[in-house]
Amino acid sequence: MSEFESTRWSLIHRVREGSDAERGAALGELCAAYWYPLYAFARRSGQSPADAEDLTQGFFEKIVETHLFAGASPARGRLRSFLLFSFKNYLTNEWRRDNARKRGGGLDRVSLDGKGAAERYGNEPSDGASPDAFFDRKWALEVIRRALGAVEAQNSGRPELFARLRRYIAGPNMPPGLHAEIGREFSMTDNNVRQVLHRLRATFATALRQEVAKTLNEAGDLEEELRALIAAVAGPSATADTLVDS
């Protein structure tokens, strides 16, 4: 299947076996996409903002300096499960506070916004979710964000209209009357707005499937992982129509 041709597992492969340039680029993409879910896991596990940042930074540095991903294989299944398992092992076996590295060492191509992460985490709800469940939610939201980014890139002609509709592409159904209100703002009919939103939702559904597929090794896992993603964001009874409210 074409949606499985390029996967996040291929990034793991390049980190493990690519040239220096390939390893740096692949690690940078992995880090940019998934460091916050790992940081959030560390915070929810009781780490301070500074320690959580150092732990997350140290984890990605460890990937550079050692063969941490030597046993990585798509046969492991879900990339999110593999990365969290590796991070837990790192926290348990590798981290030593008295040997903490200076932040940024070995990761010239990756920038971790520690201040931004602390502020972002400070706005997270105190919902009592376990660190594992919290990680799954942050991972799911990152996948959704990347899918929405792909939709936005494909619809760059009217950024103001996209910004008005964005919340409803992957979120709740649009309230009654809002189609007409947006139509008046952009000189469109109520029906035109409905058609545009329907098309954006369809594009998002495709982009989301492609983004999730990149983290799997077999097509048969896709529907199960999509259900897990939706449940992580909005609860076990949620549907795609109420995926995310932001």
Contact criterion met (CB below 8 Å) for 244 and 171: yes
Taking only the tens place, the pLDDT of each residue in 31-68 is: 777 888 999 999 999 888 888 888 888 887 777 666 66
* Rounded CA separation 92/223 (Å): 33
Nearest to 244 by CA among 118, 84, 137, 156: 137
Q: Name the residue with tokens 């932001």.
A: 246
Statement: residue 2 has pLDDT above 50: no
pLDDT band at 218 (very low <50, low <70, confident <90, very high): low
- Look at 109 and 206; give whichever has higher pLDDT: 206
Q: What is the pLDDT of residue 219?
A: 58
Nearest to 77 by CA among 170, 152, 12: 12
Nearest to 87 by CA among 118, 63, 65, 110: 63
Q: What is the pLDDT of residue 13?
A: 66
Q: Which of these ranges, 117-121, 128-132, 207-211, 238-242, has the smallest mean pLDDT?
A: 238-242
H-run or E-run covering 57 = helix 49-65
Q: What is the pLDDT of residue 111?
A: 52
Taking only the tens place, the pLDDT of each residue in 70-107 is: 555 555 557 788 788 888 988 887 555 545 444 444 44
Q: What is the pLDDT of residue 43?
A: 92
**Amino acid of residue 129:** A
Q: How crowded is residue 61: how many other Cβ atoms within 10 Å of its Cβ?
A: 21
**Amino acid of residue 139:** W
Q: What is the pLDDT of residue 96?
A: 54
* Rounded CA separation 120/193 (Å): 33
Q: What is the pLDDT of residue 104?
A: 46
Q: Summarize the confidence of residues 231-245 as an average pLDDT.
A: 57
Percent of all residues in the chain with a pLDDT value above 90, rounded to a whole number: 24
Contact criterion met (CB below 8 Å) for 91 and 55: yes
Taking only the tens place, the pLDDT of each residue in 132-181 is: 988 888 888 888 988 999 999 999 889 999 999 999 998 788 998 999 99
